[in-house]
Every structure is written in C-alpha cells, then in structure tokens.
Structure 1
Amino acid sequence: MNRIYLSVLLSLLTPLLVWAQTQQQRYPLIPYPTSLTPAQGEFTITAQTALIVQDSRFRNEADQLGQLLQPSLGKSLSPRGNGTKIILQHDPAITQAEGYSLTITPQQVTLKAAQPVGMFRAVQTIRQLLPISIEQKMAKPVPSLTLPAVQIQDQPAYAWRGMHLDVSRHFFSMDYLHKFVDRLALYKFNKFHLHLTDDQGWRIEIKKYPKLTSEGAWRTFNNQDSVVLKRAPTNPDFDLPKQFIRQQNGKTQYGGFYTQDQMRELIRYAAARHIEIIPEIDMPGHLTAAIKAYPSLSCTGQEGWGKTFSVPICPCNEPTYAFTEAVLSEIIALFPSQYVHIGADEVEKTTWAQSPACQELMKREGIKNVEELQSYFVHRIEKFVQSKGKKLMVWDDALEGGLKPSTAVMYWRSWVKDAPQKAAQNGNTVVMTPVSTLYFDNPPGIQSVENVYNLAIVPQGVPANQVNQFIGGQANIWTEYIPTENRVDYMSMPRMTALSEVVWTNHPDYASYQQRLLSHFLRMEQMGIKYRLPDLTGFTEENVFVDKATLRIKKPLASYALRYTTDGSQPQRNSPELPASLDITQPQTVKVAAFTPSGVQGDVYSLRYQQQSYATPVTAANPQAGLQASYYKKAFRNTKGMNGQTTDSTFIIHNLVVPKSVNAPSFGIQFRGYLTVPQTGVYSFFYTCDDGGVLRIADRLVVDNDGNHAPIEKSGQVALQQGAHPFAADFIEGGGGFTLKLKYSLNGSEPMDIPDSWFSH
C-alpha cells in the first residue's frame, strides 16, 4: 500500500473511529442491545416528570424505576406530573418474553414490553443510561437527570444466563446475596445458582433433619481455611469474617446457615427482579457434612475420604431415598424454580463396589458397574423430582453411566471435549460452564476477560438440529479459597460483565465492549463493588536493559493513580505517584499498583530489571524450517519432570503450537531449535500456558510460567543481536484442556505472533 493511499484511508477512517468511540461513551450498555439506533438530544428527568403506567401488569417494574430515581431527585415521580413523561406500555407484538423496546426523545421516554420480565430488562437499560451518580445512595438530590436520545430493540440470545455462588466452602451473609442479585439484575442475568451443600458445610435449614444445620453447618478450621488465613496478613480479603466464627464446647468453629424464612425472602427479592434461584443439593457425593450428622447414610456407616473424593451416601439402602426425598421435598416446597440441581459429580464409588448391599442391588437390577449404579440413583431421584413438577439438572460427570434425555446437563469438564455433543445427541439440554473459562475461582489474568468474552455457547461440530439444546451459559464461583465478599467481587468482576454480553447479545465486539467497560468500572466503584481493576500494560514482568530502560504505563482510567516503590515494599495510597516516564539505569525491582479515588487497590506488579549485553548470534549448520518437538505422554508437575524421560515421539512443527495429533490427556512437549531475529534490540516475549511452561532464548531464561495452573500469561525480555539464537520452550499439560500461546514485541509495539520463518532447527 503506497503512503498517499494510506494517508487518505486514515483520514477517512479516523472520523469514523472517533464517532464509534463517542457512541460507546454515550451508550455504555453491557450487555449491548440487539439493535441500537443513536439519536440527537437528551431527555431531562425532573421531580415534575410524570411516570405513567398504562398497564397494571407493569406496576412492579414502574416501582423499581421509581425507586431508582427517587434518591437522586429527592421525590417520587407521580403519574400526574406536569413535566416530561416516562410511559410504560404493553406491546403484544413483542414476541419474546424478555424482549422490549425503548424510545428516548427529548420529549418522552417510552418503554414497551409484552411481559413484566421484558419491562424489567428495559428498566435496567434505563439504569445504565442514567448518570453514574444515581448509584450513590447517600448523595444529595439534584435538580435533574438526563438520558441520551436513542431507539433500542432488544431481546436475549439465550434463555439461561446464569451465575453460580458456592456458599458451602465459605459462607456469605444474606445481605451480600441480596447485593449479588442486584448485580445480576443490572447485567440482565436471569438465573442464580446457589450451591447450598457440600463436604465442608450444609447451609440450608431442613426441618425434618435439624442436625444438618446444628452440626453440618459448622466445622473446625480445615485445610482451605488454613490456606486463606496464611494469605490474610498481606491481603485482608482472605481473612475469615468474624461473624461466621463461634466458640462451641471449647472449639473454634466456622460456619452458618440460612433459615427457610431467610431464603424465602431472598427468593421473593430475586423474583421481583425476574431472577430464578436454582438450588443445588449435591448428591450422592460431596455430602460429608450430612454424613457426619447422620452416619448411616453411607455404605460404611461413617464419613471418610476415598482415593479421590469423599465417601458418598449409599444408593443401595432404602433409608437413603427416604432421606433424599424428604430433603428434596422441603427444597422443592421452598424454591419455585423450574430446575433442581443435584450435582451428581465427582463421586467416589469405592465403598459402593465393596458393599454387599450394592452387589445385591446391581445383580437384581442388571447393573453392570458402579457408573451405572450412579445412574440408577440419579434416575430414581429424577422420577421423584418430576413427580413434584420439577426438572432435574446435573453436572456432566453424570453422563458416564447414562442419563435420560429429560435431565438437563451443565458442562464443566473442559478436558472431556465431546461431552456437550454427547449430551445433545442424547437429547439433553445443555448449559455451558467450562472450567477453563467460566470457573471464576480460577485466578484472573490479563486475558481472562477476553477469554470469557470469546466463549462459544454452541461448540463446533454440533448439528443444526441440536443447536437449540444449548440453552445458555453460566459462570461458577467455587469458594474453597474465597472467604470474603470482597474476594468474590474481585474474582467475579469484571468477568461477569463479559459473560452477560456473551449470553444476551451473541454477536461479540470486544473492542466496543472494552470501551463501554471503562464506564462500568466507575459505576462499580459507586456501587461499592471491590472489582478487579483493569490490567496495567505496556511492560513485562522480567525486564532487561543494555544502557537504560524507560518505564511508561498508561492509566486505564484518568481517575486512577499509579503508585510505585523501589525498596521492596508494597505500594500504598501514600506511595509516590509513578511519573509519565521513569528511567531505569541500574538493576532493581519496581512495584506498581493502581488506586481508585475511593482507595480500591489493583494488583501489584513487580517489574524486575537486570542489565544485559546483546546476545551474540550463532551459526547453525544446514538449518531446516521449523522446530524439533519431543513429545511425552505423561503427567508432570513441572517442566523439569521431562528431563531424563524417554521420548514417546518426535516431530517437526512450524511454530510453537500443539498439533492436533497430540491427544494424550496429560503430556509434555520440549520445543528446540533456533529463533532468527531480523534486527538487534531488546525483545519482549509473552508466554501463555495452561498448565505450565518455561522459555529460554540464547541460553537465557526469559519467561518462567511453570507449574500446574489455569491459563496465565507471563512475560520477560532478552537482548538479542540480529541473527539466529538457540531457542528452547518447554510446555506441560496436566489434564483439563490446554492453552499455549507465544507472542513477541519490539520497542514497545503491541504483542504480535512470531512468524514461522523465524524458527529453524
């Protein structure tokens, strides 16, 4: 492309790009509507604005809108106001229950829907278009509020738009659950999956079995508590809340539970916001808390731990079914949800195989193995649940012994890649919740929000006649190492906003989303959400310089302050503010963190600098294209484990990728060869691994991203002269699905893929 043509093209594109960015700032909606047509002008809301409900079916939604506006205006809006008008209308032409239309002109706001749920979604769109100041509950009243003129037609892409919270591993207040519901409503979620029971605690009152909560809701500190308590001195978000700790019989115990009356009120609160709470009572495994209280529930008459998971209840004794049906009867009477979730995952079946009662049952029923025995249990529970007018939901583990088509399946095991397709082929409806992307207890990183945003609800290869069986997606927050509300906030926000757009809009535009998200960070701050601040970029963790380096970090938001230290201490609110450019002329460690005006602190980045001379290139004899790769079909804890092992196979690969022929569930690969760089400079490398990897160039350690972990990007630098340099990259996959990416940058450019032509062996 010649320079004149490029200049003309840029002159044409620049106004369009500026316009697009302005529109994203004017309409910072997440999830983005199905259709949005910008318009000129603004609608002004004052205390004299009339709030008119033309159909009584929308009275609840009108009240919600009024409650949203009243604190800012200092007065409730009346249907007889003598100013501008906000009108809620019934429109039977809108065919989807959650669909709505919204028209804002300088003269009037008109919200239309066929059903109350659609009108509520429209109110949430209004909320996001209003000034962020409305989220300040104690703010002084203002004379007016404004809404940008716009025309919106909107409806969700998927019926299941869910968030999950595990209250068993660590417990959370009823007040926080209400706040969580509010956030779900703001981002147009419609399902709240509450994981109420597990080995570590039983959290819901069951009147027929009071010991489930008097005993099962409390525990002495376990290994998960020990982990978080060790982290608490440097991060108070890991400290166990004092209100959930008690002294009992000379022991310190942690726990708590919800009464049925408390849960009934939460259900009512969520229903008013058109959110369905899905209860999960995990069975037949994950029931140590119940077995401790009622030991006869297990095949051995006691609780315990098997090879991998806890001892389950016994599916071969009739009293087990009397217990489960009584518990589920109370749950079903309490929760009006369409589905009841029983987990049916991670079941340790050793005690079943050894039980005479199970051997007798399996012989009588023609059951061939313990996987089918689990299905026998699930089928019996499903029949009971269906007799109460409900549907059963399970995790995808339960597919192994066979499921009826009527059972709904949540797919979580990313390493069982064909499980969603098998479920669909079996006739099951499927909710996508893969551990690799949507387990929000996995540590967030620089790519975690984008990974969520790019999630495919319908996997590749699903036949057209089975697409509709994929009813949506859900993110899960398992709380083994999440003991506080602040930590839940940090782990879920902003990832939750990315998921909301995936399951509502279904036509992704990540660049647009990123622009709109900036406004939502400010809204979250006003709402008191302790969200994870945006990642700081433009640097690597391991840095090198020949003569000197210059550190420049752009603030994600102008209101943030970047604070830094060079003495090894953690940055504080009163630490020096990082200048626009900081020259580095000697080896040192710079620690940087962003702070919001209210004092919310972002992640601390430790940037280590060392001085290097440019590595001298080598001369390779008769180089061939590509890298040599040694493949090991074995699980490794770290990359060093491959050293000295017998190679299963070797191959030549064009770039740092795992070929499709690699199909072992756990494996390791050693990539060896040369990297030829076209010019002398300090090169940055960004190495993303799930599980672990180590990168060496010119016999220098560049990136250490070793160990078993979720997808994490780590970065480093190396000073290279133009030419070929020894290249060694190790990668291990421990099971559960892998990620392997390597990008480079030179002189501060955006990270780019390494050209195939740079690699040889």
Structure 2
Amino acid sequence: MTRLLSRLLLIAAITLQGAYVSAQTNASFPLIPYPASLEAGSGTFSITPRTTIQADAGFENAVAQLQRLMKQALGKPLAAAAKGQIVLRKDETITAAEGYRINVSASQVVLSAQTGAGMFRAVETLRQLLPLAVEKRTASAQRLQVPALTITDEPSYAWRGLHLDVSRHFFSIQYLEKLMDLMALYKMNKLHLHLTDDQGWHIEIKKYPALTEKGAWRTFDKNDSACIRQSKENPDMAIDASHIIKRDGKTLYGGFYTQEQIKGLVKYAAARYIDIIPEIDMPGHMMAAIHQFPNLSCEGGSKWGELFSTPICPCNEGTYEFAENVFSEIIALFPSEYIHLGADEVDRKTWAKSPACTALMEKEGLKNTAELQSYFVKRMERFFQSKARKLIGWDEILEGGISATANVMYWRSWVPDAPVIAARNGNHVIMSPGNPLYFDNQPDANSLSNIYKFKVVPEKLTAEQASFIIGAQANLWSEQVPSEHRADYLYFPRMLALAERVWSKNLDYAAFQQRLPAHFKRLETLKVHYRLPDLSGFTAQNVFVDQAVLDIKKPLPDLTLHYTTDGSLPQFSSPALNKPLIITKPLTIKLAAFSPGRTRGDIYTLQYKKEAYQAAVQTFASVKEGLQCAYYKKYYLNTGGMKTSEPDSQFVAKDLVVPASVNAPSFGLKYTGFIDVPETGVYSFYFLCDDGGVLTIGDKEVVNNDGQHAPIEKSGQVALQKGLHPFTLDFIEGGGGFSLGLKYSVGNSPVAEVPDSFFKH
C-alpha cells in the first residue's frame, strides 16, 4: 500500500510539474494566437548581418516578408546561401493548408510548411518571437536573439475574418494595407469590404460612371453630425478631412477606389495570403445607386421607410442586367472564390404593391415577398456560379428558402436558430453575431472575455453538422467611425482575442491575458491607435458620507494616470495620479491612462457627491421573495415611454433574468419592490443592458443607462442603511437581441452578481 501510494504521489507530482511547465511556457512565449504545440528548448539562435538564408521554391512571399523585417532591424536583408542558417523548407508531411513547423536551435532556424500560406504564417510567428527592432524602420540592431523551441501549428477554422464598412465612412488604401499587415501578423485571412450602401457607392464601375461621380459623395448626414458633436470630447471622432471636398458650393464627404487601386490592393492581400471578399449589398441598401438610376426600384427612386430604404425591384429584367454588369466588373477585380450579395434588411413594401411583382410571383409560384427575395438571391447565385464564384448572404437569405450551395453569414444574435438551420441544411456558415462580434459596439471591460469565450459552433449541432461552421468574423460598421484612429481603437485589441479564438486549439483566457501586454508594445511600435486596458476601482457616479478615496491599480505597470478637476480633458501634462487621492467635497474628475508612447486611453468622468445614508424602510411582515414585474409589449426609444403606458401583463420575478415568456420583438420591463441590503455602507452598482435601463433605489437614480444602444455597462453608487429600500429597475429592448445584468460591491469588496435573496416585494 505504501509503495502504491508513493507511485501515485509521484505521478501526481509529475502531472502538476507538467502543468506548471506548460503554464510557464505559455507565459514565456507571448504569442497570439498561441500555437497548437510549443516545446521550449535550450539556448538561443542569434541573427546577425552575417546570417544567411536558404528557401525552397514557392516561398517567395514568406522570404520577402522575412527580409523586410531583417532590413528594418539590421539595416540590410540577409544574404542567400546554398546552406543557410535560416531555412524555409517544403515539407509534404504537413497536410493542413496553413500548417507549419518551427525548429529553433542554437545553430539553425528551420521553418517548414507545404504551402506558401503555411510558410507565411510561420514567418509571422517568428516575427512575434523577435524583438521589437524588427518593427522599426530606423533600427540598426547588431544581433537579434530567437529562443530555442519547437512549434507545430495549424488553424482551428478556415475562415478568420474582419469586415470593414467603407460606405458610411470611407477609408484610404493605405489604411486597408495597414489593416491587412496587422491581420497577417495575427493570422487572420479574410477581409470583407462593404463597398456600397445607402450612404455611398465607393468602387469604380466603368459601365456606370455615375455611381462614383455622384454616388460616392454626399452632404453630411445625421451620423456625421453625431461624430462632430463627439469630437469635442474625443479627437478620434473628428471626420477625416482628406475625404471632404467642395463642389458646386456644397461641402461633400466621400471618395472611391479606382479599379487600378483595387488591383494593387488585391495583389497586396495575396502576398499576405488574405482573401478580400467584396460586398455589393442588394436588393436593399441601394439608395446611392437608385438615386443615379431611379428605374432600379419598383416605384422609381428611393426614400427612407420606417427602418430601411426602398430596395431595387426584383421583378424587372433591367435590375438583373444592372446587377450582372456590376458584378461582372467586381468578379474581374477580385479573385476570391466568394462574392457577398448582402441581401439583408430589405423593406419589401414596394414589391407587394407592384403589378410586375404580382405577375412574377404568380408565374413562379411564389407565396410572399420573402420568397420573392429568395428568387432574387437564387438568380444572382446562378450568375455567380456561372463565373465560378460562391455566394455569401447575411442570414436573412434563409427566410424565403435557400439553395444548398449558398453560404450564410450569421449576424442576428436574436435569431439563434439561424446558423443551426443553415448548418443542418448543409450550408456553410460564417459566425459574426452582433454580440460579441460587432466591433462598432463600444468596447468595455468585458469585451475581450466575451469574444475569447464566444462559442463558434452552436451547441445544438452534431459533430457532422458542426463541420459546416467554417469560422467567424468581426464586423465594423462605420456610421460612427469617421477616422482611421477610431477604427484602430475599435479593432484593437479585440481582434487579437478573436484571432486566438479562431486559430488556437487550446484556449486559455488567463494565459491570453498574460501574453497580451507584450502586444500592446508591438502595436504601439507599429503606430496602432489601440484601446488601452480599462481602469477600475471606481464608478461613474460616486458618493461618500465622510470622505472618498480614489486609488486605482494600473492594469499595466508602464501606464501613467493623469487627471483634471476643472472640466478640461486630461493631457499627458495634466497632474499625475500616482498616489491615492482623498476627496472630502463634491468634485468632478476627468481621468485617463497614457501609454509610454502617450497614447491616451478612455476618458473617465467621475462625479463625487456627499450624501447621508439613505434610511431603510420599516420591515413589512408580508414581504416575499422576488420583484413585481410589469411587461409592456411595445417599442420604446427610452424607459420613460413606460410611464404613460399600461402593462400587458404582470408577474413575480425571482431574479433579473428575462424569462422565456417575454418574447415580444420589442418590449419594456419594470421591476419594482425592495432591495434588502445586509449592512450599512456605500454600495456600487454595475448595470449592463442592451438596450436601455435605469436603476433607482429609494428616491435616487443610481445608474442611468437609458436609450437604444448595444451592450454597455454603466455604474453608480448610493449610501444605504442596513435593511429594505424601495427598488425600481426599468429595462427596454428595441429589437435585435438583449442583455441585462446587475452586479454590486460594497466598500472594497469584490464585484459580484446581486444575490436573488436581496430582492423582495
């Protein structure tokens, strides 16, 4: 028995030691995405100006990338030799299309792959192992150290995408190239460009020059006005002046890509093994085109309806002639096997009133306008197939029936069965749900975790059905992204979390967090205007009885914190917050973190008010668990709308989880009762909602997170005596999926979910 116990203890010790070594390895090699297998070796390999390189045929792009990095770091590229010290070797045993191996010893670096894509991914991994000198065009290092190791790697998913809407706001070719450089660094391989929409047509079509001569330009719209207002507090929200012109006495915004520019961009992408997926969105989102060619719609012209614009008409042959002419030029420019048709958010009312559509529906046996839209999509797909291309559409293409060969891009988080239906039908699916993969949604402290832990494959699918989920993509819609700095801020570091989620085999969010700071330094060197980590330890609305202490633990040691108390925006020259700040009187503080390169993080506005403890109400003998909840089946712009409405029903809720019985597409909920706090203190509440919500305790509005918006967490404080306090939480959902959560802390306690036991009525 003693001998057996000793053996078991030895095995346990070896197992624990292995786990510890694995964790240590993960932290010691801050690679993102983390490879499938990494074994640390002994020693390092030194790259100097005398190091030589040898490459097998077919790896020219990888060699060019490696030499560019060497020239930046060492001042010149490496010399080629028959027996190089850095070897790029073709290996037929590596079967994955983007798979590779890296072996670094003290005497040699060997990169192995079967394909050019795999070798390029290997070079980008090596790049992350090298010092930041490889990113500096003015560096002249004498020696670059590479740690000895062995890596075997391949991606989990074939589709690892980013999307950029260049229609609502326009982006330069130089920015697209910069974005693809960063995508390549993190092994992303699909760039989806949303080239046209109601607000502008931004790619040259030679057969229809009016599309860009006039359709690429517009006067400022309501989103521009919103950006201009926000730019007073945030310079990133200023509209890029390089896309503004004066014409006929008007100020116009816009721009477009010439076909020659697109050819160069496609070549740039191909050298980095990135496919550019063009999207010409139709039949909806076509106002910019219809304004130039009014007969494209059933009624002539286009205008805004309740939600969307008038679409093109699928019942006139002229529509298909136009669409095929446009896509013929698009297909000639973009070699990608995929062409995105869009086909989302279509207002079909004009079709229902069109005699031509009535006749076509009768002829084709179509029962409704959803099937008419499907007719349009299927007809366009046949055209794409005649050009040896595959169609992608947003998940609305499922509604009127879908061909077996169409590809579905899932975005509507509030239709969770859409990807399940598509995969079961045998359609390939790209996952890009609005929550968490719409990067135009404001990032917060939960964003990286939500992306990293996102389930790419829906749980309802079998293993066979799961094979039809080919990957995931983050989308950046640009209504309120008026500058390249703002785009950088919204992409990074969220793209890094997605990159690891869709590439890596073994996911570990804690380890990812340990590796991330090294990449902030690399992004800074690459002049990426990334979002700094969140600051914590405070709420937006703060109260104190005697005094408050603002004591922030910096999320990264090399950040500096600066603040103001006069209402001005914090600058690097503003007072530094390098020790706890004692607050004894009402005060408004503006606070921001700064990176070593003086990149400014989010600006936090903290309001401090002095209050007495709110008195608890008398305990009622009849108090019961839970809250009363009134349910309103109506669309509201904000929670105030419920004040003048009668609820459709009422029920008792034991918690703040929206029950399945609340299933109206748009609704409001009013939770009322008491919150039973266990001790006297200053309570902080963190209210997450999508869309809007307001939390009131006693007679005080504690958190105002109202209005129609994506998931956002806002916070506030209230001083409470022990006992029962009147509690009201208003919540609205406008349509498109919702989030609702309430957390709290008291004093210096950790933040936690509000226990159900706190709620009484």
Partners of 2:27 and 2:511 within 8 A in 1:
no
Output the amino acid matched with 1:354.
K
* In structure 2, C-alpha distance between the alignment counterparts of 1:291 and 1:647, rounded to whole Å: 43
| Aligned residue type for 1:58 | F
Matching residue of 2:604: 605
| Contact preservation (8 Å) 1:447, 1:713 | no
Q: Is the 8 A contact 2:133 2:141 kept in 1?
A: no
Q: Show the counterpart of 1:68.
A: 69
Task: Write the distance in 1 (CA, Å) between the matches of 2:16 and 2:91.
Answer: 41
CA distance in 1, matches of 2:218, 2:623: 63
Alignment of 1:77 onto 2:78: yes
In 2: Cα distance, 1:363 partner to 1:16 partner: 69
| Residue matched to 2:394 | 395
Deviations 1:147-174 (A, max 9, x none): 2222221111111100011111111111
- The residue identity in structure 1 corresponding to 2:500 is E
Distance apart, 1:15 and its partner CA: 11
In structure 2, the partner of 1:28 is 30
Deviation at 1:626, TM superposition (A): 2.6
- Superposed CA RMSD in Å reads 2.2
Change (3 A) 1:237 1:45: same
Match of 2:539 in 1: 540
- Superposed CA deviations along residues 397-450 of structure 1, whole A, max 9, x for unmatched, are 121111111110111111122211122232211111111211111122222222
Does the C-alpha gap of structure 1 residues 288 and 702 become closer, same or farther in structure 2, counting only changes over 3 Å? same
CA–CA distance in 2 between the matches of 1:737 and 1:40?
52
Q: How does 1:113-512 map to 2 (within 5 A)?
A: 113-139=113-139, 141-505=140-504, 507-512=506-511
Q: Is the contact between residue 196 and residue 286 of structure 2 (CA under 8 Å) also seen in structure 1?
A: yes
Deviations 1:243-299 (A, max 9, x none): 222222232222211111110111011011000000101111111221222222222
- Normalising by structure 1, we get a TM-score of 0.94
Residue in 1 that maps onto 2:716:
716
Paired AA for residue 656 in structure 1: L
Asked if structure 1 preserves the Cα contact closer than 8 Å seen for 2:294 and 2:302, the reply is yes
CA separation in 2, counterparts of 1:498 and 1:616?
45
1:51 Cα deviation after fit? 1.6
Q: Residues 41 and 749 of structure 1: is their aligned pair in 2 closer, same or farther, counting only changes over 3 Å? A: farther
Q: Would the aligned equivalents of 1:298 and 1:311 in 2 still touch at CA under 8 Å?
A: yes
**Mean Cα deviation higher: 153-162 or 239-248:** 239-248
1:92 is aligned to 92
Between stretches 71-80 and 642-651, larger displacement belongs to 642-651
Q: Which runs of 5+ in 1 are unaligned?
A: 1-11
| 1:239 Cα offset (Å) | 2.5
Shift of 1:723: 3.0
Distance 1:639 1:746, change over 3 A: same
Residues 34-61 of structure 1, C-alpha deviation per residue, up to 9 Å, x if partnerless? 22223333222111222221x2122321
Please name the residue that 2:677 is paired with: 677
Match of 1:513 in 2: 512
Indicate whether 1:728 and 2:734 are aligned: no
Q: What are structure 2's unaligned runs of at least 5 residues?
A: 1-13
What amino acid sits opposite 2:631 in the alignment? Y
Per the TM alignment, residue 506 of structure 1 is displaced from its structure 2 partner at its CA by 5.1
SS of the residue corresponding to residue 622 of structure 2 reads coil
Distance 1:138 1:25, change over 3 A: farther
Total equivalences in the alignment: 748
Whole-Å separation in 2 of the counterparts to 1:239 and 1:163 = 23
Distance in 1 separating the partners of 2:446 and 2:645:
33
CA distance in structure 1 between the aligned counterparts of 2:24 and 2:717, rounded to whole angstroms: 37
Residue in 2 that maps onto 1:637: 637
Q: Which is worse superposed, 597-606 or 13-22? A: 13-22
> Is the CA contact 2:157–2:470 (under 8 Å) kept in the aligned structure 1?
yes
| TM-aligned CA distance change 1:37 to 1:679, over 3 Å | farther
- Asked if the contact 1:429/1:470 (under 8 Å) is kept, the reply is yes
Question: What SS does structure 2 have at the residue aligned with 1:476?
Answer: strand
Deviates more, 1:407-416 or 1:688-697: 688-697
- Alignment-derived partner of residue 5 in structure 1: none
- What residue number does 1:9 align with? none
Conserved 8 A contact 1:432-1:457: yes
The percent of aligned pairs where both chains have the same amino acid is: 56
Deviations 1:709-761 (A, max 9, x none): 11111111222233333332222222111111111223323311233333333
AA in 2 matched with 1:740? L
Name the structure 2 match of 1:565: 564
Change (3 A) 1:756 1:25: same
User: What are the superposed Cα offsets for residues 299-318 of structure 1, whole Å, 9 maximum, x if unpaired?
Assistant: 22323233332222221111
TM-superposed CA distance for 1:654, in Å, is 2.9
Q: Is the 8 A contact 2:408 2:430 kept in 1?
A: yes
Instruction: Report the CA distance between 1:627 and its aligned residue.
Output: 2.7
The equivalent of 1:42 in structure 2 is 44
Larger mean CA deviation between 29-38 and 231-240 belongs to: 231-240
C-alpha offsets along residues 633-681 of structure 1, whole Å, 9 cap, x if unaligned?
Answer: 2222222322353333333333222223322222222223333333332
Q: Secondary structure at the match of 2:117?
A: helix
CA distance in 2, matches of 1:707, 1:506: 40
Partner SS state of residue 61, structure 1:
helix
TM-score (norm 2): 0.94
Residue 751 (structure 1) aligns with: 751
Match of 2:553 in 1: 554
Q: What amino acid is the match of 1:113?
A: A
Assess, with a 3 A threshold, how the Cα gap between structure 1 residues 221 and 127 changes in structure 2: closer, same or farther: same
Per the TM alignment, residue 17 of structure 1 is displaced from its structure 2 partner at its CA by: 10
**Do the aligned partners of residues 662 and 39 (structure 1) sit closer, same or farther apart at CA in structure 2, a change above 3 Å counting?**
farther
User: Following the alignment from structure 2 to structure 1, what is the Cα–Cα distance between the partners of residues 301 and 91?
Assistant: 60
Question: Contact between 1:699 and 1:727, CA under 8 Å: does it hold in 2?
Answer: no
Distance 1:646 1:304, change over 3 A: closer
- What amino acid is the match of 2:325? A
| Structure-2 residue corresponding to 1:625 | 625
Tell me: CA distance 1:714–1:18, structure 2 relative to 1, closer, same or farther (3 Å). farther
**C-alpha deviation, 1:23, in angstroms:** 4.0
Query: Residue 690 of structure 1: CA displacement?
Result: 1.0
Residues 614/229 of structure 1: CA separation in 2 closer, same or farther (3 Å cut) = closer
Give the superposition deviation at 1:342: 0.8
Cα 1:306–1:689 change in 2 (3 A) is closer
* Structure 2 CA distance for partners of 1:257 and 1:133, relative to 1, 3 Å: same
Cα 1:576/1:17, change in 2 over 3 Å: farther
Cα 1:409–1:611 shift into 2, 3 Å: same
1:358-404 CA-to-partner distances (Å, cap 9, x unmatched) read 22222222222211111111111111110110101101112111111
Deviations 1:52-97 (A, max 9, x none): 21x2122321221111122111121123399x82221222111211
- Output one character per residue of 1:580-600: Cα deviation in whole Å (capped at 9) or x when no partner: 211111111111001123221
Question: Contact 2:409 / 2:430 at 8 angstroms: preserved in 1?
Answer: yes
Q: Which amino acid aligns with 1:196?
A: L
Which amino acid is 2:431 matched to?
A: M
> Structure 2: which amino acid aligns with 1:45?
I
For 2:685 and 2:386, locate their aligned partners in 1 and report how far apart those are by CA, in whole Å.
59
What is the alpha-carbon distance in structure 2 between the residues aligned to residue 620 and residue 696 of structure 1? Answer: 20
Residue type matched to 1:65 in 2? Answer: L
Cα deviation, 1:665-707, whole Å, max 9, x if unaligned, reads 2222222333333333222221111112222234432222122
